[in-house]
A and B are shown apart, each in its own frame.
Chain A
Amino acid sequence: MASQEILREEPSRGSFINDPRIRSLFFQTLVVILLFSSIWWIVHNVIENLQRLHIASGFGFLWSRAGFDISDTPIAYTSDSTYFRALVVGLLNTIIVAVAGIVLATVVGFTIGIGRLSQNWLIRKICTVYVEIFRNIPPLLVIFFWYSGVLAVLPPPRESIHLPFGSFLNQRGFYLPRTVWGDGSWLIGVAFLLAIAMAWFVAHRAHQRQRATGQQFPVFWTSVALIVGLPVLAFLLSGMPLTFDFPKQSTFNLTGGFWIKPEFLSLLLALSFYTAAFIAEIVRAGIRGVSRGQTEAAAALGLRSGPILRLVVIPQAMRIVIPPLTSQYLNLTKNSSLAIAIGYPDLTATAGTVLNQTGQAVEGVFIMMIAYLVLSLVTSFVMNIVNARMALVER
């Protein structure tokens, strides 16, 4: 019994200096002390500096008159609006260019990425050249290239370049015919939504039937027929309520139509062509990451090349592709802040103007950071949902 008593006592230790728990406690206390003293020092300095420079603090400035104009305003805005509204306009512009850029970059990136795996030597080489050029050049340079190198040296409005479908291209931007929807056009939208719902329902039933009986149903073509057919039918039935407002050439400028400004155009093209090079590499790595055995096994089961791609290769490749694709989308959103270099009024540019006008740097930078963090979180959240749907369902 006595020996057990001894065992239960504290084992002999070295010096308490070597106890990991005490060490960890010590270091963390040290870090906390350092952190708080530096925060205190910084806050102290900031308060002193702000008082010395007579800069107000707090977010009250958000509700005063902005007094500057913004060239692209998705919502109503004048220079009499508040700073807050100016920032919202900037945020909306960032979202517009980011979403458009993500769509375009995905399309171009997937095309180039699949092209790099093509059987065709020439296509493979062209895609490689594209990737190697765009991956190794700063995005800002690409933006300047489109803005000062290409769009700025286009002819003036009077000598606009005529493009098909009544659109024009000149140094002030790209003019497209604008669609004008007349009475009853809401029917088309309703038909479109109805078609999507029906297509979903058909796909669901077809899946159930295939599980139960093994019979297949041409889901894809039915869906296409529904989604294209129903809106077209509605369009014809409601008396074709669509007219176009074509841009017209006047003496000094073009009037009417839908005007895409060169700032937006060069930002969009540069961001999406730059990001597309990275997406292409991700797609290539994803498809190559699916082992050959999968393709061969699918062929051995008697699937043809179309279903092999659709049912076996792509679902597995998407699992590899989606996480890095998400970070490319985030990068594109963050790179849209380069808009400030060519004067497209995105969030950074408007917040920069607000910051310069009010002098409230702390609040300005804080708003910028929070806005981008929220945008990043939302993008990650959406992509995580997609990822969860694609992820391997393990037993």
Chain B
Amino acid sequence: MQEHDTSWVRTEMALAQPAPATERGAYAWVRKNLIGSVGDTVLTLLGIAIVLWVVPQVINWAFINAVWTGPDRTVCTTASQGGIQPDGWTGACWAFVNAKFGQFMFGTYPVEERWRPILVAILFVVLLVPMLIPRVPRKGLNAILLFVALPIVAFFLLVGGVFGLPHVETPRWGGLLVTLSLSFVGIAVSLPMGIVLALGRRSKMPIVKWLCVVFIETVRGIPLITVLFFASVMLPLFLPEGVSFDKYLRALIGVSLFAAAYMAEVIRGGLQAIPKGQYEGADSLGLGYWQKMGLIVLPQALKLVIPGIVNTFIGMFKDTSLVLIISMFDLLGVVKQNFADANWATPQTAKSGLIFAAFVFWLFCFGMSRYSMYTERRLDTGYKR
């Protein structure tokens, strides 16, 4: 009897069938994402209406009808307002931004000395870019150059008064120069201060602990404007007669103290997330307090809270605009100051200037937040829950 082997085993894989026509291609995507149900379709139509209403207006205003160059307000005003544009015209007045660009960047920094902030900016970029790219070696040296050498060099370059550089008083600084320098120094000061405050708050020494708690909670409970008021009105009273310091420095102290309190809370979150075993392990190895913190706990804790730290940086960068209240002129302050220029007084001036400033702020903040997301992914060693 011949044996019939009824079992049959396929030796090669069957080719995958394409998905049904309704489940692939553009139509399926549209059906899934735009017109899934009646409600969805209504929402989509609403969305299309919003986009069609907003986008053409914005493009028209910002690009098509915009005026890019011009000597004064006449190019940005309609005939009835005394200008050259037809009545009913609305468009961005980029000519205003163009004409005031130098001021927006440097404030009233003397024109012939503007190479100094530009040089500082170039040095900053040259040091910052390798710092941000993980593959570039020698991070330690780079960090020392960026956070120690650069501020010193920048200080002498910007303030002057030595090596034959003419002295430029800080009230003449302005624009993006003030925004960037305030936030850079603020960042460089607030991070170590925040670490110290966070460690102090978790310290076992009651007096140190309560001092830190009171400082952090008080500063976090009041608006930055109050802190700036404090720095600008009360600091001079605290010093003996004859000793006074610069308004710029006072604003710097205010902004740094404010950011340090927020930073401390962010870092405390990281410290609390480190398992107790890590502390005990360090103790059992015989490490001292600072060794334990510096080598074991902080590297892990800081890594955990990178998003929070960057958010604090972004918040601080935005908050530097408040120095305008104590009459210092950062980017926003200079833009606002220039609304009063009779040469450029048009209905479009304020909007154009503010949108330009918003764009600059947005670029920096968005860049920082994207970089933090990238770092978070790169440093993620999988321990995070």
Contacts and interface: CB of A to CB of B under 8 A. Distances in A.
B238 A45 contact: yes
Given A139-B318, A152-B350, A365 B229 contact: yes
A208 interface: no
Contacts of B48: 122
A198 interface: no
A148 B226 contact: no
Given A24-B205, A120-B34, A368 B229 contact: yes
Interface stretch (B102-110, B293-301, B359-367): B359-367
B357 interface: yes
A361 B231 CA distance: 11
B351 interface: yes
A261 B98 CA distance: 33
B291 to A, nearest CB: 14
Interface in B220-237: 221-226, 229-230, 233-234, 236-237
Of A24, A120, A341, A377, most buried by chain B (CB within 10 Å of CB) is: A120
A373 interface: yes
Nearest to B352: A149
A369 B218 contact: yes
Given A126-B50, A348-B223, A120 B33 contact: yes
B193 interface: no
A367 B325 CA distance: 19
Given A149-B351, A372-B226, A373-B218, A136 B365 contact: yes
Nearest to B243: A45
B339 interface: yes
B304 interface: no
Interface string B325-346: 1000000100010010000000
A248 interface: no
Contact of A145 (B47, B218, B351): B351
A207 interface: no
B318 A138 contact: yes
A46 B237 CA distance: 5
Given A46-B238, A153-B350, A334 B205 contact: no
A305 to B, nearest CB: 11
Interface of A: 24, 27-28, 31-32, 35, 42, 45-46, 48-50, 52, 118-123, 126, 132-133, 135-141, 144-145, 148-150, 152-153, 330, 334-338, 340-341, 348, 352, 355, 361-362, 364-365, 368-369, 372-373, 376-377
9 contacts: A123-B47, A138-B318, A138-B332, A139-B318, A144-B354, A145-B358, A149-B354, A153-B351, A373-B222
Going nearest first, the 5 A-B pairs with the smallest beta carbon separation are A136-B365, A121-B33, A148-B350, A122-B47, A334-B223
